[in-house]
């Protein structure tokens, strides 16, 4: 039986060097038990083919149901704790498509995994925009990743790449917080670095004075 040429081409993976993510717009809606993600990608490719996308999974977790508009997706496969989703890009040049999915897990209160195309961005433009909405009435806590610009419960950030996850620590109304919940890890690291530098400078000064 003869296989149409286009079908045969679509069965071949797109080399990473032949595809470039020109733009990604990602919208995330978080809830106490799940996060809903809508990712819109614009990918340039030299030839038609399959571009793989990866999604981190919880231990023992299964991939979510993906809804794709503008492209054709195959069945995701699990490799360790990563789901690999093949999406067929049917033409050379610009391919634009949207992927929607929902992830529910014990960690979904703070962390949401993102679908990442196995292709590089151009490295020049900050063409990846991520918008996240924390649950209404939730209290945001320190330690968000990446560092979002916030307006109420809505955050936004522009990056040069697609991260594998976002983290938005928050507490729903009525949650009892501990002192650990209110500590910003970034500030702790900054303070630790300053203290280390100060101690090293003091030791250096003491050694130099002793040798004088």
Distance CA 12, CA 194 (A): 52
pLDDT above 60: residue 129: yes
Section 6-30 average pLDDT: 72
Residue indicated by tokens 């699990």: 78
The number of helix segments (H) and strand segments (E) in the chain equals 2, 17
The string of pLDDT tens digits covering residues 48-93 is 889 999 999 987 778 899 999 999 899 999 998 899 999 998 878 8
Q: Could you tell me where the DSSP H helices lie in the chain? A: 5-10, 185-211
User: Given 3-state DSSP classes, what are the helix, strand and coil percentages for the chain, each rounded to the nearest 5?
Assistant: 20, 45, 35
* Residues 145/167, Cβ–Cβ less than 8 Å: yes
Section 192-200 average pLDDT: 69
pTM of the model: 0.75
Distance CA 119, CA 17 (A): 7
Average pLDDT, the chain: 80
């Amino acid at each position: 039986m003869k296989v149409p040429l286009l079908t045969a081409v679509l069965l071949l993976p797109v080399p990473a060097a032949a595809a470039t993510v020109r733009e990604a717009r990602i919208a995330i809606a978080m809830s106490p038990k799940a996060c809903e993600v809508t990712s819109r990608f614009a990918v340039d490719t030299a030839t038609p083919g399959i571009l793989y996308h990866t999604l981190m999974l919880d231990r023992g977790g299964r991939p979510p149901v993906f809804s794709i508009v503008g492209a054709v997706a195959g069945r995701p496969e699990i490799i360790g704790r990563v789901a690999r989703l093949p999406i067929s890009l049917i033409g050379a040049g610009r391919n634009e498509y949207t992927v929607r999915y929902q992830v529910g897990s014990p960690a979904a209160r703070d962390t949401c995994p993102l679908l990442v195309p196995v292709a590089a961005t151009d490295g020049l433009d900050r063409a990846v925009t991520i918008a996240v909405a924390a649950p209404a009435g939730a209290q945001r806590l320190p330690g968000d990743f990446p560092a979002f610009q916030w307006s109420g419960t809505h955050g936004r950030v522009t990056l040069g790449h697609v991260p594998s996850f976002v983290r938005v620590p928050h507490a729903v109304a009525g949650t009892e917080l501990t002192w650990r919940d209110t500590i910003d890890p970034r500030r702790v690291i900054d303070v630790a670095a300053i203290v280390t530098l100060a101690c090293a400078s003091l030791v250096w000064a003491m050694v130099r004075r002793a040798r004088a």
